[in-house]
Amino acid sequence: MFRKIFALTPSDRLKQLPPYLFAEIDRRKRECLAKGKDLIDLGVGDPDLPTPGFIIDALTEAVRDPKNHRYALDEGMPAFRESIQRWFKKRFGVDLDKDKEILPLIGSKEGIAHLPLAVLNPGDVCLIPDPGYPPYRSGTLFAGGIPYFMPLLEDNGFLPDFSAVDAKALKKAKILYLNYPNNPTAAVASKAFFTKAVDFAYAHRLLIVQDASYSEISFDGYEAPSILEIPDAKGVAIEFHSLSKTYNMTGWRVGFAVGHRDAISLLSKVKTNIDSGIFQAIQLAGKRALDEGKKAYEENLKIYQRRRDLLVDGLKKLGWEVRCPQATFYCWIPVPPGSTSTEFAMKCLDQMNLVVTPGNGFGANGEGYFRISLTVPENRIQEALRRIEALHQHPHTARS
Ligand SMILES: Cc1ncc(COP(=O)(O)O)c(C=O)c1O
Does any ligand 1 atom lie closer than 6 A to the CB of residue 239? no
108 CA distance to ligand 1 middle (Å): 6
CA angle 358, 364, 366 (to 5 degrees): 40
Q: Which of 106, 213, 271 to mutate to test the pocket of ligand 1 (most atoms within 8 A of CB)?
A: 213
Averaged pLDDT, 109-124: 97
Q: pTM surpassing 0.75?
A: yes
pLDDT for res 1? 74
At 400, is the pLDDT very low, low, confident or very high (cuts 50, 70, 90)? very low
pLDDT greater than 80 at residue 223: yes
Of 96-100, 253-257, 259-263, 293-297, which gets the smallest average pLDDT? 293-297
- Check if 179 has its Cβ closer than 6 Å to any atom of ligand 1: yes
Per the model's pLDDT, the better-predicted residue between 297 and 151 turns out to be: 151
Identify whether the C-beta of residue 370 lies closer than 8 Å to the C-beta of residue 357: yes
In the chain, the percentage of residues whose pLDDT exceeds 70 is 98
pLDDT at 323 > cutoff 70: yes
Q: How confident is the model at residue 341 (pLDDT cuts 50, 70, 90)?
A: very high
Domains of the chain from N-terminus onward: 12-50+295-392 (3.90.1150.10), 53-293 (3.40.640.10)
Tens-digit pLDDT profile for residues 60-79 = 999 999 999 999 988 999 99
Backbone angles phi, psi at 357, to 5 degrees: -100, 120
CA distance linking residue 205 with residue 218, whole number of Å: 32
Q: Which amino acid, 62?
A: A
Where does residue 329 rank: exposed (0-12), middle (13-18), buried (19+ CB within 10 A)? buried
Question: Which atom of ligand 1 is nearest the CA belonging to 254?
Answer: 11
Pocket test for ligand 1, best of 245, 248, 328 (most atoms within 8 A of CB): 245
Q: How far is CA 68 from CA 42, 61, 281, 291, 334, in A?
A: 38, 10, 6, 20, 49
Q: What is the pLDDT of residues 177-220, one digit of tens each?
A: 999 999 999 999 999 999 999 999 999 999 999 999 999 999 99
Ligand 1 centroid vs 133 CA: distance in angstroms? 8
Q: What are the pLDDT digits (tens) for 8-46?
A: 999 999 999 987 777 778 888 888 889 899 999 999 899
Query: Is the CB of residue 271 less than 8 Å from the CB of residue 341?
Result: no
CA gap 69, 65 in Å, rounded: 7
Nearest Cα neighbor of 75 from 286, 280, 285 is: 280
| pLDDT number for residue 365 | 98
**Minimum-distance ligand 1 atom for the alpha carbon of 46:** 14
Closest CA to 327 of 125, 177, 157: 157
- Tell me the per-residue pLDDT of 270-295, one tens digit each, with 9 for 90 and over: 999 999 999 999 999 999 999 998 88
The chain-wide mean pLDDT, for the chain, equals 94
pLDDT in tens, 359-379: 999 999 999 999 999 999 999
Instruction: Report how far residue 121's alpha carbon sits from residue 123's, in angstroms, rounded to the nearest whole number.
Output: 6
The verdict on the CB of residue 283 being under 6 Å from ligand 1 is no
